[in-house]
Structure 1
């Protein structure tokens, strides 16, 4: 199971790196073309914007896994061990519920935008808005994978020992 989890995390990270690299090349090419030839790619800004949206949602799960999202741990740390365990369990339930709700809302919103097209690329906006349910679904998977460790030990309080 740990091997599958590592492969999943590696794949998620590789998609982010490739997406960021592609976005960098497209924007670099566009800037160079604009200043060297006076011409720019009409679709480059749109690709950059939509890539950033997708990269943000696809990267949220990895950020969650490493405890990079904002968190307030004072209340948790002040509780006795049993209270910490109960609070962590409650936090996990709330997060699973919220992420599931956001997948549902994202799918609904994605379907509502299915008739709209982007200006430059003429891509159906449903594919742009699909980033939201995809990202929250990934967050559910990442949370499910780290939940046992989180219940046992809580989030790490330093950058030296991230979850995962």
Structure 2
């Protein structure tokens, strides 16, 4: 059971490492480019790769923590039963979008696997994989929230 708790925290831990990593890489880039006048070509590609993963994982974690923009001011004014239906509809809509994203990401991943980063000499696959991973996280977290709302039987919930 402890292992599951650690696995559940993995996306947040990866996000923290990516934030630290991108900060360090960009700091190195600024120092070497502007102070030492010796630009390092790899820093740009590494920073972009990290930013893509940071963005897509951030969407998944934002869904999990309910950190995304919602019309809470409107929803909280509605009766509890309607609030529940609004939240169910919102989660179903997000799941539908994430399933479509996952489906179409396979072609993107396949096409990206044939390209390489010019300086790093690694496959674009590593960048493209952020899309299906994020879609899976979104489906998982929205699915959990959806089950929660479906099992509430109309009780109010402060999101």
Taking structure 1 as the reference length, the TM-score comes to 0.79
What is the CA RMSD across the aligned residues, in angstroms?
2.4
Is this contact kept in 2: 1:88–1:154, CA < 8 A? no
Hey, what's the Cα distance between the residues in 1 that align with 2:59 and 2:149? 17
Aligned residues: 155
Alignment of 1:76-155 (within 5 A): 76-150=75-149, 152=152, 153-154=156-157
Hey, what's the Cα distance between the residues in 2 that align with 1:155 and 1:106? 34
Is this contact kept in 2: 1:110–1:129, CA < 8 A? yes
Could you tell me which runs of 5 or more consecutive residues in structure 2 were left unpaired when the two chains were aligned: none
- Please say if 1:27 is aligned against 2:16: no
Could you tell me which runs of 5 or more consecutive residues in structure 1 were left unpaired when the two chains were aligned: 157-164
Hey, what's the Cα distance between the residues in 2 that align with 1:140 and 1:117? 29
Aligned to 2:14: 15
Question: Which range moves more in the overlay, 74-83 or 124-133?
Answer: 74-83
Question: Which range moves more in the overlay, 96-105 or 138-147?
Answer: 138-147
Taking structure 2 as the reference length, the TM-score comes to 0.81
Hey, what's the Cα distance between the residues in 1 that align with 2:17 and 2:107? 28
Aligned to 2:64: 65
